[in-house]
A and B are shown apart, each in its own frame.
Chain A
Amino acid sequence: MTTITRTDELVRSVPQPTSSERGDRAVAGVSHTVLIIWSIVVIAPLLWTLLSSFKTSREIFASPFALPASWNFDNYVSAWTSAGIGNFFLNTVIVVTCALVIVMLLGAMCAYVLARFDFPGRRAIYYLMLAGLTFPVFLAIVPLFFVLRNVGLLNTLPGLIITYVAFALPFTVFFMYSFFRGLPDEIAEAAAIDGAGEWRTFFQVMLPMARPGMASVAIFNFLGLWNQFLLPVALNTNQDNWVLSQGMAGFASSAGYAVDFGSLFAAVVITVVPVLIVYIIFQRQLQGSVSQGTMK
């Protein structure tokens, strides 16, 4: 605010009258209040989980707020070893890494062909992919179970990887499709004139140019595959091959009093931390790709 003597000048230089400015402040205040409340609603459960992961089951039942008597990692050790989270974690890393690499490669290749080549059936394939994206996985789950059993891949990690790849493929192809269409033609033509074959053009020219798009899709695929639930629960029932989400579901379905709640919370933290780290590292990229998706 300015002094009374300068009011005239203020009115001339600023289009809004002072009352609207006060309104601005009020709106900003209300906005901050609302958003801070929501932030608390988001963060409080996570902090509470973290706190509880250090408590013994008895402490957890005694009071939801009390601090643990001693800060130690007993729950983490027991979750990692006796509850099998360590093993599930390793399985998840193997499955997600393999599936991610394969689906990014196959998805980029397929999208590239669909986006930049002209051949009969191109549109049909495109719409088939669209159908694969919109139909509920639940419809396919029963036959999928028998398809995998018939090829001997039921309850195995390779079986899970190949299913992950197949179901992440439509999304990958769609996103990369628009990306490859946006790349300029001149460069591919120049490569062709310089004598590069189709293979070299893709791997040495087009794929490197698509790197930003690949990164965004890879992040979304990572989150989606790491969090995948239905496919492993239905198709991977051998407990040695369980992934993390199944281990978590195991906690959920076991009878209430038999659960070691301390290690449940520790297991939750173990599952969440890698994804949160990936998210925080890539959050700019991720937010960028969300906006890209809507601008198209």
Chain B
Amino acid sequence: MPRGSRRRKLTLDYVSFMIVFLGLPLALFLVFVIWPFIQAVFYSLTDWTGYTAEFNVIGLGNFTKLLDDPIFMKAVGNSIVLAIVVPLVTIVIALAFATLITVGGSGKGQVQGIRNSSFYRVVSFFPYAIPAIVIGLIWRQIFDPSAGLLNGILTGLGMEQFSSFPWLGRVGTAMPVTMFVIVWGFVGFYMLLFIAAIKGIPAETYEAARIDGAGRFRTAWSITIPLIRDSVQTAYIYLGIMALDAFVYMQALNPNGGPDNSTLVMSQQLFRTAFTRGQFGYASAMGVVLAVVTLLFAAIVFTVNRITGGRDDGGRA
């Protein structure tokens, strides 16, 4: 209970206040967020196509159909790979950079940050301010086989075999390159988050470790990471949820799912099923699967963090 909360008398002032302040936002939220979620679960049990008024409740039919749908299962696999690799790589890089910036400076005695750190922070954060669709478009041009920046640089360095290498058009490279683009977009933001968390650790802790003879890597591994593990957990969950969606990056880089569907993800397949083919019931079932995978992912991260000794503070916004 909030400290200052006390039951108010039901005056006109109070009642009108509550209706407007609580009722209005809540009504909006229920109609446009919660109600569609509930409907989606219901539609997932039907064969509705959206353009006819009638439809039949077919129970779990859509879900068994999904299990036999090789394209959707491929998309599920790709999404899961994304949800595992993207957060891991992003967090490792962001943590490494945050550590370099906060304790990489040279100086006598005291642990201190690197010089010009604000420059690195501002620059690394740029991608976060760029719309995801634009990030995708920029990188699609960079990876362009003939006119792109990357192959221009590589051939300039004498690697002629890359003169028209289709980075996004080969099964072997399309997914890694896509992951790189997503990581590029998020490292800066999480670096800032970790810098803030590291700065919250008292300087004395680092001093003590240093006096005890711990090196930088030892300090980062045994002190920084355990003390900011809650930030890491938050980052993991956010990144995982984002990677399980990934719709916008995929639409920009490979709108049709990539070579041999190698970059097709659940959200793309859902969108196509709903708005191109009009199979709304079936698409809703995909949405339910996506939601279940997302919740499972969050649950796994929480559990792993708890088993490995972190404290659970679910209230963190």
Decide yes or no whether B95 CB sits under 8 A from chain A: no
CB neighbours (8 Å) of B277 from chain A are none
Is the CB–CB distance between A276 and B141 below 8 Å?
no
Decide yes or no whether A177 CB sits under 8 A from chain B: yes
Return the chain A residue nearest B38 by Cβ: A143
Contact with B along A53-78 (1 / 0, CB 8 A): 00000001101110000000000000
Q: How far is the CA of A259 from the CA of B209 in the complex (A)?
A: 58
Q: How far is the CA of A27 from the CA of B111 in the complex (A)?
A: 12
Q: How far is the CA of A188 from the CA of B284 in the complex (A)?
A: 47
Decide yes or no whether A198 CB sits under 8 A from chain B: yes
Is the CB–CB distance between B274 and A141 below 8 Å?
yes
CB neighbours (8 Å) of B16 from chain A are 199
Decide yes or no whether A3 CB sits under 8 A from chain B: no
Is the CB–CB distance between A244 and B109 below 8 Å?
no
CB neighbours (8 Å) of A19 from chain B are none
CB neighbours (8 Å) of A215 from chain B are none
Is the CB–CB distance between A275 and B130 below 8 Å?
yes
CB neighbours (8 Å) of A34 from chain B are 96-97, 100
Decide yes or no whether B208 CB sits under 8 A from chain A: no
Interface of B is mostly: helix
Q: How far is the CA of A135 from the CA of B131 in the complex (A)?
A: 22
Instruction: Report the minimum CB–CB distance from A54 to chain B (whole Å).
Output: 14
Decide yes or no whether A209 CB sits under 8 A from chain B: no
Return the chain A residue nearest B37 by Cβ: A140
Q: Name the contact of B184 in the complex, choosing from A32, A42, A115 (C-beta under 8 A).
A: A42
Instruction: Report the minimum CB–CB distance from B199 to chain A (whole Å).
Output: 7
Chain B interface residue number, banded: 35 or more
- Decide: A276 near B40, CB < 8 A? Known: A61-B146, A229-B247: no
Is the CB–CB distance between A112 and B21 below 8 Å?
yes
Decide yes or no whether B202 CB sits under 8 A from chain A: no
Is the CB–CB distance between A174 and B317 below 8 Å?
yes
CB neighbours (8 Å) of B138 from chain A are 45-46, 49, 268
Interface residues in A77-110 by Cβ distance below 8 A to B read: 106-107, 109-110
CB neighbours (8 Å) of A241 from chain B are none
Taking Cβ atoms with an 8 Å cutoff, the residues of B that contact A are 1-8, 13-14, 16-18, 20-22, 24-26, 28-29, 31-37, 39-40, 43, 50, 96-97, 100-101, 104-109, 114-116, 119-134, 136-142, 146-149, 151-152, 156, 184, 187-189, 192-193, 195-197, 199-200, 211, 216, 231, 234, 241, 244-245, 247-248, 251-252, 255, 266-267, 270-271, 274-275, 280, 283-284, 287-288, 290-291, 294-295, 298, 316-317
Given A136-B241, A294-B196, 15 more pairs with CB closer than 8 A:
A14-B108, A42-B126, A49-B138, A64-B147, A110-B26, A118-B5, A141-B287, A142-B274, A175-B317, A199-B13, A226-B131, A227-B131, A252-B137, A295-B196, A295-B200
A/B interface sample: 30 pairs, CB < 8 A = A15-B211, A27-B216, A32-B116, A34-B96, A35-B97, A42-B123, A43-B126, A45-B138, A106-B28, A110-B25, A139-B40, A140-B36, A141-B271, A142-B280, A143-B43, A163-B32, A198-B14, A199-B13, A227-B131, A229-B133, A230-B247, A234-B271, A248-B131, A252-B136, A252-B137, A253-B251, A276-B129, A280-B122, A293-B196, A294-B200
Chain A to chain B: the 10 pairs with minimum beta-carbon distance, closest first: A291-B196, A31-B104, A64-B152, A166-B32, A185-B4, A118-B5, A143-B39, A140-B36, A143-B36, A139-B287
